[in-house]
Amino acid sequence: MVMNQRFRRIIWCRKWAKTEWAIVAVGFALIIFTFSLTSDSPSRDPAGSGGGPLDSSATTDLVPLTLLRNAIERGAFCLDGSVPGYHFQKGFGSGSSNWVLHLEGGGWCNSVASCSYRKTTALGSSNYMDRQAQFSGILSRTPSENPDFFNWNKVKIRYCDGGSFAGNPESEFKQNGTKLYFRGQLIWGALMDELLSIGMSNSSQALLSGCSAGGLATLIHCDAFRELFPKDANVKCLSDAGFFLNEKNIAGNHSFESFYHEVVSLQGIAKSLDKDCVGRMKTSKCFFPQEFIRSIKTPVFLVNSAYDFWQIRNVLVPTSSDPHGTWSKCRLYIRFCNPSQIEVLQGFRDSLLNELSEIQKTKELGIFINSCFIHCQTWATETWHSSNSPRINNKTIAESVGDWYFNRKVVKLIDCPYPCNPTCYDISI
């Protein structure tokens, strides 16, 4: 992948320590996906997010790729027709019967052109996937980095369908030799069956997690995941940076809603969406968590930044909404924003908090909303749980998720507005 000249420098909001260099790999991966995975949305902004190299300086494990054994039989294919994959690390000790799954992120494709490009990458074909993945953050097996889930069975599920594991084959495209497989829902089902067959069916505790597009998939499939286990099993869902807002951009247009409409229509995603939601509004709106999260019966934890840099760059300030480049610096690094732009960003934060105001009254819902300019925080040790991790009320994300999962306390942590939190990592290019 060729690096654009704009990616030469990554700037952090605080002086780097030696152990903090690892987080650059995460930031750089997010930036590359944000700008290099093309889409044909009206904004002309790319649709990629999430997924990529993890922390490389903290203790990590290289875990081999396993191709889905029952894929051909089930018709569960990546965009290009290749077999989907996952990385599995067996649990040990007291965690040997517990499972944590992490759904990889990586945006969406909304057109034949963008999906055709995507199938030439690891986000559309297992032929391009790394044969080993580093496990850190929520997938780490080191107690000091992952205190509550370190010894669980851990699975990183690779993302290669372009529709948050929700597409259906009825909408598949084949023309002039171009074939695209929209099999996200079938991939989900086949993966769950295979994991159940290798031991997940015996689990007494399970956590489905995901980042970005994988965080959205976590919410879409949360209740279906719960149904795979006995009623007395402790099963919950963790969505990281998956609460995408249906907000107007700075030009007053719903460009991201239009983009989602194209994704849902192209990939036949309507069949996988919440039925009650689809029955009361435009189908594509039901791809937004704010429209269906109230219908999720399984306990959910939301990790989000109130100033999620991917959403600011693609939902609030897509390039098409800023023809004169007034926001060109601000959208790339929050410290370059002037007071009036900060006020707009505070309005975006207010919209997120407003959407959460009603549902946060639910005891089972956990919330960790910080004020960092970042996207996805559970997959890297530096942001998940370390001495330098972002904190709210002196709690890391890992500690907060653990308190919620094991019912140690109710967790409703909402940070003060930017720039009040000195523990934040703020990503810039």
pLDDT tens-place string over residues 350-394: 999 999 998 998 989 999 999 999 999 999 999 999 999 999 999
Helix (H) or strand (E) holding 152: none
Which one-letter DSSP state was computed for residue 145?
Answer: T
CA distance 103 to 203: 18
Q: How far is CA 375 from the centre of its chain?
A: 8
Amino acid (1-letter code) at residue 267 = Q
Q: Which amino acid is at 390?
A: P
Q: 10 Å Cβ neighbour count for 352?
A: 22
Q: Any idea which residues carry the catalytic annotation?
A: 212, 308, 375
CB-CB neighbours of 9 under 10 Å = 7
Query: Which among 134, 124, 226, 144 has a CA at the least distance from the CA of 184?
Result: 124
End-to-end CA distance of the chain: 17
Whole-model pTM? 0.88
In this prediction, residue 27 carries a pLDDT of: 44
- DSSP secondary structure code for residue 395 in this structure: B
The H or E element containing residue 5 is none
Residues 405, 413 contacting (CB under 8 angstroms): no
pLDDT of residue 177: 77
The reported pLDDT for the residue numbered 49 is 38
Q: Residues in the chain with pLDDT < 70?
A: 1-60, 428-429
Q: What is the pLDDT of residue 171?
A: 83
Unique residue bearing structure tokens 């009040």: 420
Rounded Cα gap, residues 219 and 288, in angstroms:
10
